[in-house]
Amino acid sequence: MSKTRTVALPKDLYRQAIVESFKKLDPRVMMKNPVMFVVEVGFVITLLLTFFPSLFGGESKPLFNGVVTFILFVTILFANFAESLAEGRGKAQAQSLKKTKQETKARRLAKDGTTQMVHSTELRKGDIVIVETGELIPSDGEIIEGVASVDESAITGESAPVIKEAGGDFSSVTGGTRVVSDQIRIRITSDPGESFLDRMISLVEGAKRQKTPNEIALNTLLVSLTLIFLIVCTTLLPIAGFVNAAIPVATLIALLVCLIPTTIGGLLSAIGIAGMDRVTQFNVIAMSGKAVEASGDINTIILDKTGTITHGNRMAAEFVTVGRAKLEVLNRVAAQSSRYDETPEGRSVIELAKKQGLSGEALDLPGSEGVEFRAETRMSGTNLADGTLIRKGAVDAIKKYVSEQGGSIPADLETKANAIAVAGGTPLAVVEGKTILGLIYLKDTVKPGMRERFDELRRMGIRTVMCTGDNPLTAATIAKEAGVDDFVAEAKPEDKIALIRKEQAEGKLVAMTGDGTNDAPALAQADVGLAMNSGTVAAKEAANMVDLDSDPTKIIEVVAIGKQLLMTRGALTTFSIANDVAKYFAIIPAMFMLAIPQMSALNIMNLATPQSAILSALLFNAIIIPLLIPLAMKGVKYTPMSASKLLSRNLVVYGLGGILVPFIGIKLIDMILAAFRLV
């Protein structure tokens, strides 16, 4: 399972949130939340009525007005507190990240080959720096020379160092991480203030959080409801005058505040901020709230194979003899062919040979020299001191090499090589002199737990498609082993984009995970692009999410959080609107009971007095906001199930619950007020 980055909520965070709650009372800030801005306007009016009872004419009670003013003020503070707490949690995470970002020295390589010590802030894109064991990597970049173990715990929280090497998809390094071993040369890929860490800090602080389309639509609904209830409450004055019932302005304001969706209005922003925060806790950095929200509606996930579904490095899994060769001879020669091969593939060959009984003395080859792999020959190997040439390489390249040397090709070579390819592996032929001894079965193994994770996605109703450049036989084998729903073999970058566009043309939302430069166009095209932190800079720039743990199955958590965000918003909206029913039965009878005794029939809660009914409804309206803050921050629990079942469950829990809870809450508050003779 994926680990989470936990950020505690210290007392300082609560204190800061309280301070921010008062700062947000500024009308220029409140206007961004129209629902709560209406409440603030109501607060100002009742405050004036408290000190100037006859301001608007008619009968007015200063004490009652003062109590209503206080409750409205508390309601606004609670709503501001919810948003401030969500923002404060993001800022707390940003502070922990800022500890990682520190002023470091860097050895910058000049054009004449000399090095000079400079501050990390002086580095620019294109500069080349040298970093050795124990030193911090000064800024984001790509390794252009060398292999090293890098401790990324400051960024990912993972204590185990990772191997980074020049070339391929594992050359990207992040500023603030530490080199544990060896020396590397890095080409800087970001200017000061534009590094990955800088963007992480900015994003978790919420400085660039924009409202998502869904959030904007819901805001529009809330504003519309507020306008409707504002018109309704305004027309009550002439209606009341027609039946000779005097309605105090403070009572009308109390009715308006209780009927408009203040609960969801006060919590809406906090829900969005908390959604991005929950993604961050899973070590995923979302570049926008829109990406988190879109992940909740994903229909199809397209995954790159190498480095995503599989480990990415082909490892020696088996030695297969051909002709009359003996296995112990093949073990020795295969290991000797890899004596000077420092790639993960070469090291795995030696490790496999040792596991099968090869002694270390067999690799003691004085006077020998290594032959590096070349694209033209597609072979590498070792030249022994006695003149024996040992080579390993692609089967067709070795066959051509042996034929040119006058050697013979074993009859079973092609058959056994094809069998390895069908099984999803890569065959490398091994030759000593003119004799082909056998094959090295290289296998790009599927990461543990992939099948179970894809089963979980299937239960969510999400289709998984693997894209790979491998041949169809290899692709089919890996797809079957991993448990994906479909696969595309021999895929080029443009094929991945075409597949995404095809799915999107059918009205589906598509997620893509990848780590290589060739994945960048597809990551940019997808509705949700999740790049691996171990991948290239191009991939991370193109994606709208970056997984710091480089775990492709993390998309499951991202999808669950996206669904949770949408569910939380929908659930609290349902609860907020359902609340209005109970408040209606509390306040409307109270407003008209004195002038129209027959209205007492609507007082089904048997509330003590009209004033008690109004204050009880207002108090409940204020208290329910802080009570729902934990739910807004944590989110509604998501369990994979069909949309119809999910809707039915939420209607019962939050719809019916939203009607019943206020009846109980308002009645309890009324009983307390009556018991202490507060009204």
Whether 318 has a binding-site annotation, put simply, is no
Where is 607: in which H helix or E strand? Answer: none
Secondary structure in 3-state letters for 38-92: HHHHHHHHHHHHHHCCCCCCCCCCHHHHHHHHHHHHHHHHHHHHHHHHHHHHHHH
- The verdict on whether residue 377 carries a ligand-binding annotation is yes
According to DSSP, the residues that pair with 187 across neighbouring strands are: 128, 142
The answer to whether the Cα torsion of 248, 250, 256, 259 is positive or negative is: negative
DSSP-assigned letters across all residues of 46-58? HHHHHH-TTTTSS
**Alpha-carbon 402 to chain mean position:** 53
**Alpha carbon distances (Å) from 264 to 85, 223, 305, 580:** 16, 12, 43, 12
- The closest of 112, 84, 106, 98 to 14, measured between CA atoms, is 84
CB neighbourhood size of 259 (10 A): 23
How many whole angstroms from its chain centre is CA 659?
34
- Is 392 labelled a binding residue? yes
373 is in an annotated binding site: yes
The residues facing 142 across adjacent strands are 172, 187
Is 670 among the catalytic positions? no
376 is in an annotated binding site: yes
Inter-residue contact 291 to 651 (CB < 8 Å) = no
* H or E segment to which residue 359 belongs: none
> What's the rounded Cα separation, in Å, for the pair 189 and 167?
15
Q: What are phi and psi of 671, to 5 degrees?
A: -65, -40
Q: Which of 446, 428, 187 is nearest to 320 (CA)?
A: 428
345 marked among binding-site residues: yes
Tokens of 27: 């009308």
Q: What is the 3-state secondary structure (H, E, C) of 465-525?
A: EEECCCCHHHHHHHHHHHCCCEEECCCCHHHHHHHHHHHHHCCCCEEEEECCHHHHHHHHH
Helical (H) or strand (E) element with 139: none
Residue 374 marked as a ligand binder:
yes
CA-based nearest residue to 522, from 483, 545, 541, 496? 496
* Residue 379 marked in a binding site: yes
341 has binding-site annotation: yes
Q: Which two tokens stand for residue 157?
A: 């929280």
| 192 phi-psi bin (left φ>0, alpha ψ -120 to 50, beta other) | beta
- Cβ neighbours of residue 531 closer than 8 Å, sequence gap 6 or more: 513, 514, 515, 519, 523, 539, 540, 542, 543, 545, 546, 547
The answer to whether 378 is a known ligand-binding residue is: yes
Catalytic residue from among 304, 444, 470, 547 = 304
Q: Are the beta carbons of 142 and 128 closer than 8 angstroms?
A: no
Q: Which two tokens mark 345?
A: 């593939």
What pairs with residue 486 in β-bridges?
Answer: 465
Residue with tokens 């906001």: 625
Q: Is 443 annotated for ligand binding?
A: no
Q: Binding site: residue ranges? A: 341, 345, 373-380, 392, 515, 519
Q: Binding site for Mg(2+): residue ranges? A: 515, 519
Q: Among all residues, which ones are annotated catalytic?
A: 304
Q: Binding site for ATP: residue ranges? A: 341, 345, 373-380, 392
